[in-house]
A = this chain, B = another copy of it.
Amino acid sequence: VIADLQRLVGSEHVVADPRPDLLADASAYAGVSGVAAALVSPGSPEEVAAVVSWCAERGVPVVPRGGGTGFSGGCVSQDPASVVVSVARLDAVRSLDVLQWRAHVEAGVTTARLARLARENGLRFPVDPGAAEQSHIGGNIATNAGGPHCFKHGVTRAWVLGVEAVLGNGELVTVGGPTRKDVAGYDLAGLLCGSEGTLGIITAAWMRLLPAPPVELPLAAVLPDARAGQEALDAVLGCGVVPAVIEFLDAGSVRASAASFPGGGLPADAGFVLIVEVDTSEADAEEVAGALREAGATVSRPDARALWRWRDGVSIAVASVHGGKLSEDIAVPVERLADAVEGTREIGERHGLEACSWGHAGDGNLHSTFLLDPADAAQRARADEAARDLFALALELGGTVSGEHGLGLLKNGWLSRQWSPGAVAAADAVRAALDPAGVMNPRVKRP
Residues of A within 8 A of B (CB): 97-101, 122, 143-144, 146, 150, 154-155, 157-158, 167, 169, 171-175, 177-188, 190-191, 193-195, 199, 210-212, 214, 234, 237-238, 240-242, 280-281, 331-335, 360, 362-365, 398-407, 411, 414-415, 418-420, 422-427, 429-434, 436, 447
Cα-based distance from A364 to B335 in the complex (angstroms) = 38
Cα-based distance from A143 to B187 in the complex (angstroms) = 11
A41, chain B: closest CB distance, angstroms: 23
- Note all chain B residues with C-beta closer than 8 A to A199: 186
- Note all chain B residues with C-beta closer than 8 A to A434: 426, 429-430
Cβ contact within 8 Å between B333 and A179? yes
Cα-based distance from A445 to B87 in the complex (angstroms) = 34
Cβ contact within 8 Å between A174 and B433? no
Q: Identify which of B185, B281, B415 contacts A447 (C-beta below 8 A).
A: B185
Cα-based distance from A281 to B183 in the complex (angstroms) = 32
Known contacts A154-B158, A191-B187; A181 and B363 CB within 8 A of each other: yes
- Note all chain B residues with C-beta closer than 8 A to A195: 186
A357, chain B: closest CB distance, angstroms: 15
Cβ contact within 8 Å between A183 and B403? yes
A430, chain B: closest CB distance, angstroms: 5
Interchain residue pairs with CB less than 8 A apart (7): A99-B238, A183-B194, A184-B400, A186-B195, A212-B240, A426-B434, A429-B436
Cβ contact within 8 Å between B398 and A183? no
A279, chain B: closest CB distance, angstroms: 11
Cβ contact within 8 Å between A426 and B167? yes
Cβ contact within 8 Å between A191 and B190? yes
Cβ contact within 8 Å between A100 and B334? yes
- Note all chain B residues with C-beta closer than 8 A to A234: 99
Cβ contact within 8 Å between B399 and A157? no
Known contacts A179-B332, A179-B333, A433-B430; A402 and B240 CB within 8 A of each other: no
Q: Identify which of B167, B178, B186, B360 contacts A194 (C-beta below 8 A).
A: B186
Cβ contact within 8 Å between B193 and A187? yes
Cα-based distance from A415 to B185 in the complex (angstroms) = 7
- Note all chain B residues with C-beta closer than 8 A to A158: 154, 158
Cα-based distance from A172 to B421 in the complex (angstroms) = 10
A436, chain B: closest CB distance, angstroms: 8
Known contacts A174-B420, A187-B191, A432-B433; A364 and B180 CB within 8 A of each other: yes
- Note all chain B residues with C-beta closer than 8 A to A171: 420, 422-423, 425-426
Known contacts A174-B423, A420-B174, A423-B173; A184 and B240 CB within 8 A of each other: no
Cα-based distance from A191 to B167 in the complex (angstroms) = 17
Cα-based distance from A240 to B121 in the complex (angstroms) = 11
Known contacts A100-B334, A173-B420, A188-B423; A179 and B430 CB within 8 A of each other: no
- Note all chain B residues with C-beta closer than 8 A to A172: 422
Q: Identify which of B173, B184, B406, B414 contacts A402 (C-beta below 8 A).
A: B184
| Of listed A172, A182, A420, A427, residue having the most chain B CB within 10 A | A182
Cα-based distance from A56 to B173 in the complex (angstroms) = 31
- Note all chain B residues with C-beta closer than 8 A to A237: 99-101
Cβ contact within 8 Å between A419 and B154? no
Known contacts A181-B363, A433-B433; A100 and B404 CB within 8 A of each other: no
Cα-based distance from A37 to B431 in the complex (angstroms) = 35
- Note all chain B residues with C-beta closer than 8 A to A122: 240
- Note all chain B residues with C-beta closer than 8 A to A332: 179
Cα-based distance from A173 to B365 in the complex (angstroms) = 24
Cα-based distance from A179 to B365 in the complex (angstroms) = 9
Cβ contact within 8 Å between B155 and A400? no
Known contacts A167-B422, A180-B363; A430 and B188 CB within 8 A of each other: yes
Q: Identify which of B188, B210, B242, B400 contacts A179 (C-beta below 8 A).
A: B400
Q: Identify which of B177, B184, B403 contacts A398 (C-beta below 8 A).
A: B177
